[in-house]
Amino acid sequence: MNVAQENDLVLLIGQDRKQFVLRLQAGKQLQTHRGCINHDNLLGQPLGREIRSHLGYPFLVLEPSTFDLISQLKRTTQIMYPKDIGYVLVKLNIMPGSRVVEAGTGSGGLTLALARAVGLEGRVYSYEVRDDILKLAQQNLAALGLAACVEFRLQDIAEGFSEVDVDALFLDVRRPWGYLSQVIQALKDGGFFGAILPTVNQVIELVRALEAQQVFGHIEVEEILVRPYKAVPARLRPMDRMVAHTGYLIFARKVGREVSRDDYWLDRKRRKYEEAQAAAERQDQPGQS
């Protein structure tokens, strides 16, 4: 049985789906629009049950998920959405003991998920150029008890990464193609690379740069869309709003590759063929001359 203890994080959900994440402390009280709940009434009691506020309003008492913690983060910048973060974790093969680099840190949404995934036996190295943003991320991770898993770097990644032979590296920066030489130096052979970008133009720039480096293989571009439904059996249907485009995800693997002169000419022929195909497709589009 999972029993709530002092300093544990718990999630309270009201019937109106309003959520509260709190750290339990003896003598404290949560004040909500539906009444007050004393922490003492939760301490030593099992999770996964229903309690009532002093006004008689019901709340579910649950262990918070990574999704819940990310959603409740204090932020000054837009964080990655959980739908993208979850996919990034599995695509980059993040697991207990992994060593992973991310840049930039932002408010720490991805940092949080990475830290929970690598655990105390792993390490997250998080780079950010703005001191105020980095401090907020540090506060967010410390409040969740995850600071021991992360090393924060107030550093411009143009200067390079301090780490080598890391398992994975993720860039959430405006021009990731400008830092691929630094990525190559930090990643181990066979390591996982990922990035997120908001526009097609940026994706094209990054894919071209990845190909030009000649040390990246298995390049992929993907987008995650989430369509929630009203979970009411009598009228099950899609919600009026969905979480659609939040960014394009780009993935690749660092690979050792010997490039011969024949490979160079074959690559040029392939590029010319792709450009010709793209031009033909544009001409076939309605309204195109």
Ordered by start, the domain boundaries in the chain are 9-64, 69-273
Would you list the DSSP string of 78-146? PPPPHHHHHHHHHHTT--TT-EEEEE--TTSHHHHHHHHHH-TTSEEEEEES-HHHHHHHHHHHHHTT-
The encoded tokens of residue 189 equal: 């052979």
Q: How far is CA 215 from CA 29, 67, 209, 222, 256, in A?
A: 56, 34, 11, 21, 6
Hey, which CATH number is domain 69-273, 1.20.1250.20, 3.30.365.10, 3.30.70.1560, 3.40.50.150? Answer: 3.40.50.150
Alpha carbons 282 and 13: distance in angstroms, whole number? 51
Residue ranges of the chain with pLDDT lower than 50? 289
**Mapping DSSP to helix (H, G, I), strand (E, B) and coil, where does residue 9 land?**
strand
Q: What is the pLDDT of residue 289?
A: 41
At residue 99, the 3 state secondary structure works out as strand
Q: Are 197 and 221 in contact (CB under 8 A)?
A: no
Q: What pLDDT does 77 receive?
A: 79
Chain-centre distance of CA 219, in angstroms? 19
Give me the phi and psi of 142, to 5 degrees please: -65, -40
Fold of 9-64: Vcp-like ATPase; Chain A, domain 2 (3.10.330)
- ω into 104 cis (within 30 of 0): yes
If you ran DSSP here, which 8-state letter would residue 63 be given? P
β partners of residue 31: 36
Using CA of residue 116, residue 120, residue 123, residue 126, what is the dihedral sign?
A: positive
